[in-house]
Amino acid sequence: MMMRNKISLGFAALVVALLLVVPVYASWAGEPFALTFMARVLVFALAAISLNLILGYGGMVSFGHALYMGLGAYSVGLLAQHEVTNGWVQLGVTLAVCGAVGLLTGVISLRTTGIAFIMITLAFAQMFYYLFVSLKQYGGDDGLSISARSDFGLFTLASPVTLYYTALVLVLAALFFTHRLVAARFGMVLRGCRVNERRMKAMGFHTLRYRLSAYVLSSMLCGLAGLLYANLTGFASPAYLAWTVSGELIVMVVLGGMGTVFGPLAGALVLLISEELLKALTDHWMMILGPLIVLVVLTARRGVYGYLLDWDAWRERKRVAVLPESVEGQP
Amino acid sequence: MSLSLFLIQMLNGLQLGVLLFMLSAGLTLVFGIMNFVNLAHGSLYMMGAYFAAAAYARTDSFLLAALVGIVGSAALGFAIERIVAARLYARDHLDHVLATFGLILFFNELARTVWGASPYYMNVPQALSGTINLLGISYSAYRFAIIVVGLLVALGCYLLINKTRVGMLIRAGSSNPTIVAALGVNIKLLNAAIFALGAALAGVAGLMSGPILSVQPGMGEPILITAMIVIVIGGIGSVRGAFYSALIVGVIDTAGRAFLPMILREFLDRSTAQAAGPALASMLICIFMAAVLALKPQGLFPVKNQ
């Protein structure tokens, strides 16, 4: 009963259905660009989902999340450079490296809150940015091109269609994972920390442990997005961990609806498609995008998916308001 | 390594330090008083540099260029405060970060549209183009002028905040804006003025660094991130802390870049040292920040009354 007629769920189902047929459309219309573009949207959606886990539910504004995308991409790039193209090895290395870096930087950053946390995560990301820029033997500033894609034995990520569906499966899995996680005890504690950490401490939770676990989990998930991104572009570049990418990820999360399961995907879709439309309009598209972001912050705080949820809640209230009259006569 | 090289690098560190102070003072002033995170501060620095460079190219007078740079960036700061920042004071930091991120994209593209994507050069003024003799070493007169200007600005900030009536209001506004407003002070104007003051400081930093760095779109971001590291190390909201930590960071960064590759060569083989040296040097201040935070999460010189 509760699930019926929900606009937000209908919208989500529609988006997923459309995403499923993108490769079919691309080959039918002969537009390979549509496929790679939508694959890019999915990769960024995955990264935004990982950021939403700590930003939306944990209240931790990480301004350096692109770091993990970069680490994932370089795990593929550096291994491929040394002729290790086994996808499982690359996956293991990505998760291990992102987990380790997440743990190390998380322990230090989480000692602080608020603005200091924003700046520290930014500084750590910059630190790795400079590291990769100065690795001259691996392309330095220019980045590193990857000749062979990840080979997972059963399938390789060389074909755009395979890559697309792999990304889609991962995005859907990540959405389901988020959905389950935030409703579980762990997610409850995390959301409690966002609202009032001191109270959670008083209730006997070791809050740092929960927040750190969420942070590490999020960085590993974001590393996965990096692995896919490297396979998509055939390239690993310091630009992947530039601070503007971290900013874009935050914009996606907020634009889509912070702290909603489906929001990051909606945000990635809206932001990247509007960027593409503006690019077609003018070379100086950033002069329009910048003020648009300011406008969104000033006016539309709940985000695309947040408004859909508001709409559902409003309809639900209206339904409940009518209900008592019809059940009045019953004991 | 000779003594004079060491002294020159120390002076370069000091010079970077005072530039960082001018940026971080504005950043931390606005944060400490209005609780507003202004990532677009680097854009004000960039626009100040462009204004000055453009005016210098037209008029050939450095004084006029300085005036245009400072007044221009202050006016821009005032406008940003009125149009965007003032509406966001009551919101949380995430909204500040996002809105000012949008502003950065806008200003970088604006600079690219107006002045082109390639670097824009600004000449060193004729009077300061030579070198001066300092304790037996010759040092660039222009860089020395930056140090002098930076220290004068720091002194000016100290006097303004601690010795004047406006400074008293600024300090009062930082601890309780509501009461200050109730006492009949136009707090909105005061906020805008502080924002413009911070912007003017960024403009001074921009115009002073114009002749030694290339003026180009996006030039504000790397130094802004360093300035943020400065204020995190110094203790957020503390101008005094920003001053000391700017000097420390300036010296560490410069010394690291100059001497670290040299030192590593003593221990490691040549190719490893050549790869690790610059990487480690550029990471040095982040490592320093991490170390400081691990020991003192509040920063080295935290604000006392909070």
At A109, list the tokens.
Answer: 């950053």
Q: Locate the DSSP E strands across B9-146.
A: 131-134, 137-140
In 3D space, the residue among A173, A213, A171, A167 whose CA is nearest the CA of residue A190 turns out to be A213
Predicted pLDDT of residue A137: 80
Q: How far apart are CA B188 and CA B168, in angstroms?
A: 16
Cβ within 8 Å, pair B109-A243: no
Answer yes or no: are the C-beta atoms of B69 and B44 closer than 8 Å. Answer: no
Predicted pLDDT of residue B306: 44
Percent of chain B with pLDDT over 90: 29
Average pLDDT over residues B83-96: 88
Residue A52's Cα: distance from chain center in Å?
6
Task: Quickly state the pLDDT bin for A1 (edges 50, 70, 90).
Answer: very low
Distance from CA of B278 to the nearest CA of A (A): 6
Cβ within 8 Å, pair B279-A284: no
Q: How far apart are CA A114 and CA A314, in angstroms?
A: 32
pLDDT of residue A40 exceeding 90: yes
Q: For residue range B227-241, what is the model confidence (pLDDT) as tens digits? A: 988 988 888 878 888
Interface A-B: count of C-beta contacts within 8 A? 124
H/E run at residue B161: helix B141-163
Give CA separation, A40 vs A37, A88, B107, in Å.
5, 22, 27
Distance from CA of A65 to the nearest CA of B (A): 14
pLDDT of residue A54 exceeding 90: yes
Average pLDDT over residues A63-71: 94
pLDDT of residue A60 exceeding 60: yes
Query: Average model confidence (pLDDT) for chain A?
Result: 88
Query: Average model confidence (pLDDT) for chain B?
Result: 86
**Among A37-46, A107-116, B91-100, B154-163, where is mean pLDDT lowest?**
A107-116
Chain A residues with beta carbon closer than 8 angstroms to that of B297? 111-112, 116
Predicted pLDDT of residue B293: 82
Average pLDDT over residues A192-214: 89
Average pLDDT over residues A239-264: 91
Amino acid at A282: T
In 3D space, the residue among A12, A4, A3 whose CA is nearest the CA of residue A261 turns out to be A12
Distance from CA of A90 to the nearest CA of B (A): 24
Q: How far apart are CA B103 and CA B85, in angstroms?
A: 11
Q: For residue range B67-82, what is the model confidence (pLDDT) as tens digits? A: 999 999 999 999 999 9
Average pLDDT over residues B43-65: 91
Average pLDDT over residues A277-294: 90
Distance from CA of A290 to the nearest CA of B (A): 4
Amino acid at B211: P
Predicted pLDDT of residue B305: 54
pLDDT of residue A257 exceeding 80: yes
Predicted pLDDT of residue A4: 53
Predicted pLDDT of residue B132: 81
Q: How far apart are CA B76 and CA A138, in angstroms?
A: 42
Cβ neighbors of B304 (< 8 A, separation 6 or more) are: none
Predicted pLDDT of residue B111: 92
Q: For residue range B197-229, what is the model confidence (pLDDT) as tens digits? A: 999 999 999 999 888 888 888 888 888 888 988
At B239, list the tokens.
Answer: 């101008």
Task: Give bridge partners of residue B238 from the DSSP assignment.
Answer: none
Q: How far apart are CA B36 and CA B90, in angstroms?
A: 9
Predicted pLDDT of residue A329: 46
pLDDT of residue B40 exceeding 50: yes
Partner residue facing A243 (CB), from B98, B221, B297:
B221
Predicted pLDDT of residue B1: 57
Predicted pLDDT of residue A222: 95
Predicted pLDDT of residue A323: 64
pLDDT of residue A136 exceeding 90: no
Cβ within 8 Å, pair B94-A250: yes
How far from each other are the two terminal CA atoms of chain A, in whole angstroms? 22
Predicted pLDDT of residue B181: 84
Answer yes or no: are the C-beta atoms of B31 and B173 closer than 8 Å. Answer: no
Average pLDDT over residues A252-262: 90
Chain B residues with beta carbon closer than 8 angstroms to that of A55? 94
**Model confidence, pTM:** 0.89
Q: For residue range B145-185, what is the model confidence (pLDDT) as tens digits? A: 899 999 999 999 889 888 888 888 888 887 787 888 888 88
Which of A2-11, A13-22, B69-78, B215-224 is modeled with the greatest confidence? B69-78
For chain B positions 192-251, those within 8 Å of chain A (CB to CB) are 221, 225, 228-229, 231-232, 236
Chain A residues with beta carbon closer than 8 angstroms to that of B225? 122-123, 126, 243
